């Protein structure tokens, strides 16, 4: 199964009400429509992307905090974007050179 990572730019464009984002929003909606038809993919994002999305939607896009909280809840608690399941994955800013199974201490 292939993973498709949705970064904060995708999440922001999808939820933005800004007229300037309409083209991006349409592209994201079209992509999500295609993803819904694919059988062997898993959509994922991270808490970093969700946190950045929340910050931008509230501070730059001026969307009501309650509305943004509902968006965040749907992503984090229900693990859904539109009608698609989405997995929240762990990401780390640290680059490692060892495998997860290594026994280096």
Task: Determine, yes or no, domain membership for 78.
Answer: yes
pLDDT at position 102: 42
Domain total in the chain: 1
Task: Determine, yes or no, domain membership for 101.
Answer: no
Task: Determine, yes or no, domain membership for 94.
Answer: no
Task: Determine, yes or no, domain membership for 95.
Answer: no
pTM: 0.84
Domain coverage including residue 75? 2-89
Q: Per residue in 12-32, is it b (16+ CB within 10 Å) or e — as a string?
A: bbbbbebeebeebbeebeeeb
Task: Determine, yes or no, domain membership for 35.
Answer: yes
Q: What's the mean pLDDT in 27-48?
A: 95
pLDDT tens by residue, 39-72: 999 999 999 999 999 999 999 999 999 999 999 9
Task: Determine, yes or no, domain membership for 104.
Answer: no
Q: What's the mean pLDDT in 12-23?
A: 94
Task: Determine, yes or no, domain membership for 100.
Answer: no
Say yes or no to pLDDT of 95 above 70: no
Per-residue confidence band for 103, with pLDDT thresholds at 50, 70 and 90? very low
Average model confidence (pLDDT) across the chain: 89
Distances (CA, A) of 47 to 8, 22, 57, 79, 93: 10, 25, 15, 12, 13
């Amino acid at each position: 199964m292939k993973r498709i990572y949705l970064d904060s730019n995708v999440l922001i464009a999808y939820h933005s009400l800004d007229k300037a984002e309409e083209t991006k929003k349409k592209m994201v909606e079209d992509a999500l429509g295609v993803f819904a038809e694919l059988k062997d993919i898993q959509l994922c994002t991270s808490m970093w992307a969700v946190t950045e999305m929340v910050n931008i939607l509230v501070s730059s896009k001026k969307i009501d905090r309650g509305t943004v909280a509902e968006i965040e809840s749907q992503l984090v608690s229900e693990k859904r974007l539109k009608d698609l399941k989405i997995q929240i994955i762990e990401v780390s800013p640290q680059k490692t050179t060892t495998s997860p199974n290594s026994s280096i201490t």
